[in-house]
Structure 1
Amino acid sequence: MVFSIKEWDAQCQALTTARTALLIRKGGIMETHGGFEVEHRQFLLYPTFLHQNPAELRPEFISMLRDDPQPGQIVLTALAEVVAVHKVETLEQALALEPYQALTAGAIERRFHYRNRPWVHALLLRVRPVAQPLVLEETPEMLGCVSWVPLPEIRIEAQESVLREEALTQLQEEVGGILRPQA
């Protein structure tokens, strides 16, 4: 089975254009009591338009906000592979990740404290465009505030990563340095 992860369209655009490679996740309101977990190491990016908030995007990403170009359909343009995942349990470390992704410090802090569970996940992703965008009808099973959406069996042909391996390795080292436990 193929899975997708719901993420704001603006963030999907930032990932697919190599402007970021890091996502900070907490989970949707319909997640299990434990919250978001990295259940899959490879998934399609499922752009969502619901709840996108310009006040929670850093200024350089606001121009990526747009209305849904194809309501009722999902346009899947990229495959993401998890390079590294970190459970970030201090607000100071979570806020230090702000320059590496699209959310504002305020949005990171709000997600960090969401449901009075102080943590977020930081996912470093290798993003590869699919050769041909996949357009699917959005079904009732795909709706709701959940992170993971199973998709019908589809064939995915992914291209080269949008970010060179050297840049991804450097980013992994920088993020790892921020998140390494302090002695």
Structure 2
Amino acid sequence: MLLLRKGGIAEGRGGFMASHSDFWLLPTRFHAQSVRIRPEFRFLVEEGERAESEEAELQFVAKLLWSRFLGDWESVRRLIVFQLWEEELLRERFAYGAKEGLHLLLVRVYQSQKVVCPWEGSLAGCRSWVTVRHPWSDRLVPVVSDEEFVPREREVRIAAMAG
């Protein structure tokens, strides 16, 4: 899985950093912009799914394989086919703030036994990292097989490094 991050307001002047090598993927309630997802991926979004819930369901763990800051638009543009956001949204995030660019994180996603935790204010807002005090299971199952993941990782590396 490919993540493109600008960073959150709560990250301060230092901006975004890949602070953890493995982390829960937290279902977010902030910047929920389902209409800005490429049409072929909109089926993944369940409208209003978590709007009323007082709990967060955690089921997927990401393990960071590598990251890189992309300071030129062409590098980001080459990666559009590997992610779900529309180009216009990526352009906006790329240009936002004093420094143009986006952080690329390539992660391998694993399924854990589901954990349900209370939705707290500390989970909300414009931030990349929040503290969740619930461990994932010892047995993690890759969401995508090695046969699918390895060639896709190679394609992303080539696209990110070209130019």
Q: TM-score, normalised by structure 1?
A: 0.80
Letter in 2 for 1:173: R
* Partner SS state of residue 15, structure 2: coil
**Unaligned segments of structure 1, at least 5 residues:** 1-20
Q: Hey, what does 1:117 align to over in structure 2?
A: 99
Paired positions, count: 161
Letter in 2 for 1:156: S
Query: Structure 1 runs of 4+ off > 6 angstroms?
Result: none
Letter in 1 for 2:145: R
Percent sequence identity is 27
- Residue 130 of structure 2 is aligned to residue 126 of structure 1: no
Instruction: Name which of 78, 81, 106 aligns with 1:99.
Output: 81
For 1:6-25, list aligned pairs within 5 A: 21-25=1-5
- How far 1:139 moved relative to its partner? 1.9
Instruction: Name which of 151, 161, 164 aligns with 2:145.
Output: 164
| In structure 2, C-alpha distance between the alignment counterparts of 1:38 and 1:24, rounded to whole Å | 11
Q: Hey, what does 2:16 align to over in structure 1?
A: 36
| In structure 1, C-alpha distance between the alignment counterparts of 2:132 and 2:24, rounded to whole Å | 9
Determine if contact 2:4/2:103 at 8 Å carries over to the other structure: yes
| In structure 2, C-alpha distance between the alignment counterparts of 1:126 and 1:155, rounded to whole Å | 15
Q: Hey, what does 1:59 align to over in structure 2?
A: 39
Q: Hey, which of these two has a bigger chunk of strand by percent?
A: 1
- How far 1:94 moved relative to its partner? 0.4
- How far 1:157 moved relative to its partner? 3.2
Relative to structure 2, which stretch is displaced further, 155-164 or 141-150? 155-164
| In structure 2, C-alpha distance between the alignment counterparts of 1:84 and 1:68, rounded to whole Å | 31
| In structure 2, C-alpha distance between the alignment counterparts of 1:63 and 1:137, rounded to whole Å | 26
Instruction: Name which of 142, 156, 159 aligns with 1:175.
Output: 156
**Unaligned segments of structure 2, at least 5 residues:** none
- How far 1:65 moved relative to its partner? 2.0
| In structure 1, C-alpha distance between the alignment counterparts of 2:32 and 2:76, rounded to whole Å | 20
Q: Hey, what does 2:125 align to over in structure 1?
A: 144
Q: TM-score, normalised by structure 2?
A: 0.89
Determine if contact 1:84/1:172 at 8 Å carries over to the other structure: no
